Every structure is written in C-alpha cells, then in structure tokens.
C-alpha cells in the first residue's frame, strides 16, 4: 500500500461504543484437531462489545481455523466458544440463529455469479428473515450505500472488480444486521488499490461501533484501527493485548521477529 493510500485511510479509531466489560465472544481453552494434527491448542480470548480485534500470525498458526470455529463452521474437540449468547463449536448451537447474529466475510467473495447484486444480498432476507421483496430491496439499497456501491444494485458479479465484489460480500452480511462481523483475510486476493477500498469500508464499520474480529496480514491497518491484537503461533495465543502496547513492547522473541520482518 502506498504512503498516499495510507494517508487516505488515516484516522483515529474512537473508543468502543458497546457496553464496557461485556464479552460478546468468549473463547475458553479451545482445541481443534485435524486427524492427529492439533491446530488449536488451548486457545482463550475475549472480545468486548464494540471492539475490533485483529488476529495476526504466520500462515499455519491457526488464525483462520479459530475464526471458522467461532462461526460454527468447524467443530472443536475441547473447550468452549460462546458468541452473541450462542454456544458453538461442538454442534451445540442452532446454526440458523447463529447466522442471524454473526456475519462472516471470506477471502473468496462467495457471490452467486448467476444472481444480481441485489439478489445476492436479499436472498437470505427473503428466505431466512421472511422479508417481502420490497423490504429486502430497500435493505439492499441501504447496505450498498453503506459500502459505496448503491449504483451497482442491478449488476452481476462478473461486472464488478474484486474490490467491489468483496464490498458486496460485506454488504450481504450487514443486511442481516449482525451483532458481530468476522473477516478472514478479506484483502489477501486483492491488489493494493482494491485493498484500500475494502479497508476503508471496514474502518467505517469500526468507527460505527461494530464488534469485529479480523484475521489479517495488513499490519498497518491492524495497528491503526484494532483495539486489541492477538498474535498466534503454533496454534496458541502467544501474545495479546491493547494494540499500541503490544507493538511498542513485544514480550516474546517470536512476536518481535514477526513484526520486525512484517511477515
């Protein structure tokens, strides 16, 4: 990302607007295995209402797996996860109820190519929330305006750039009015210019008080916008804490090396 782009995104994140000391996400001693491989090894963390928490670390450290466990996409073999009051991770939660409260945006946009932007957004509104077509379109217009794509409501995904498709994916999640948004490396497939588009939307959401957890390699963005940072290494939470404190004084050689190399 160029210096000009960084300046374009410059700004200070306000204090979280959610109720203080209210943990919307509670992760306790979570273990996740793929066969004999332990991918998550006793992971614990809290995310408070209105916080943005950035999960960082090298590839293979368990970041994306943790996010998928939070959203009930992967079962866990030990520990507990509670998110928006839903107990998830071991088949305990009603996944439909969970999806109403927790939105997730992936690296791949996962838009339906044969549907318009409007229908990509309204599908869940009409099928899950039983909104009328008129109500669903109005909501689609609102969230598209929120991500700066109001004029693309009748377009098809193939007519959009990668950055625009990712913003539509964010709008689709926002349409259900989630309490929490999870982002899994949403800019990793984008070039720097398109990355700026998506990060700007995420920063706006953060300023609006949305509770957010993101897995990211965008260190400058994480440092500027995240309230808390979680550094994962070998399937564990190696270091965590307030962003400025963590980056100013790493407590472990692994984290110091990670931020020193920018990997």
Structural domain includes residue 44:
yes
Collect contacts of 235-244 with beta carbons under 8 A, ≥24 apart. 235/38, 235/39, 235/40, 235/41, 235/43, 235/61, 235/62, 236/41, 236/42, 236/43, 236/62, 237/43, 237/44, 237/45, 238/57, 240/45, 243/54
d(CA 50, CA 17): 5
pLDDT for res 97? 80
pLDDT mean by block of 10 residues, the chain; 263 residues: 40 43 90 94 95 94 94 92 86 72 89 96 90 95 95 97 94 93 90 88 91 93 93 96 94 93 54
pLDDT for res 230? 97
Query: Could you tell me how far CA 70 lies from the centroid of its own chain?
Result: 11
**Interacting residues of 91 by C-beta distance below 8 A, sequence separation 6+:** 75
Structural domain includes residue 87:
yes
pTM for the structure as a whole: 0.87
Structural domain includes residue 140:
no
Structural domain includes residue 17:
no
Q: State the total domains in the chain.
A: 1
The residue assigned the tokens 């990997």 is 263
Quote the strand ranges of the chain, DSSP E: 23-34, 37-48, 52-56, 78-83, 86-88, 102-105, 180-184, 211-215, 228-233, 236-242
d(CA 47, CA 28): 12
pLDDT for res 100? 83
- Domain with 247 in it: 22-110+181-261
- 91-127 per-position pLDDT tens digit: 655 777 888 899 999 988 889 999 999 999 999 899 8
CATH of the domain at 218: 3.40.50.300
pLDDT for res 12? 41
């Amino acid at each position: 990302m160029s210096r000009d782009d960084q300046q374009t995104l410059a700004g200070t994140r306000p204090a979280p607007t959610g109720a203080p000391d209210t943990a919307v996400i509670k992760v306790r001693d979570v273990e996740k295995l793929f066969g004999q491989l332990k991918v998550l090894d006793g992971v614990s963390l809290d995310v408070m209402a209105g916080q943005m928490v950035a999960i960082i670390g090298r590839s293979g450290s368990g970041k994306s797996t943790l996010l998928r466990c939070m959203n009930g996409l992967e079962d866990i073999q030990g520990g507990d996860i509670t998110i928006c009051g839903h107990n998830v991770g071991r088949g305990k939660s009603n996944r439909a109820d969970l999806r109403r409260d927790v939105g997730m945006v992936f690296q791949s946009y996962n838009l339906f190519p044969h549907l318009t932007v409007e229908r990509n957004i309204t599908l869940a509104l009409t099928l899950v929330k039983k909104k009328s077509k008129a109500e669903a379109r109005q909501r689609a217009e609102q969230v598209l305006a929120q991500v700066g794509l109001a004029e693309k409501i009748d377009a098809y995904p193939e007519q959009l750039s990668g950055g625009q498709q990712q913003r539509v994916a964010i709008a689709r999640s926002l349409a259900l009015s989630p309490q929490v948004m999870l982002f899994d490396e949403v800019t990793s497939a984008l070039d720097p210019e398109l990355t700026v588009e998506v990060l700007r939307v995420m920063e706006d959401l953060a300023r609006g008080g949305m509770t957010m957890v993101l897995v990211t390699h965008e260190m400058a963005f994480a440092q500027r916008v995240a309230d808390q940072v979680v550094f994962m290494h070998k399937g564990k939470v190696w270091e965590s804490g307030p962003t400025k404190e963590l980056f100013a004084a790493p407590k472990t050689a692994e984290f110091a090396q990670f931020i020193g190399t920018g990997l």
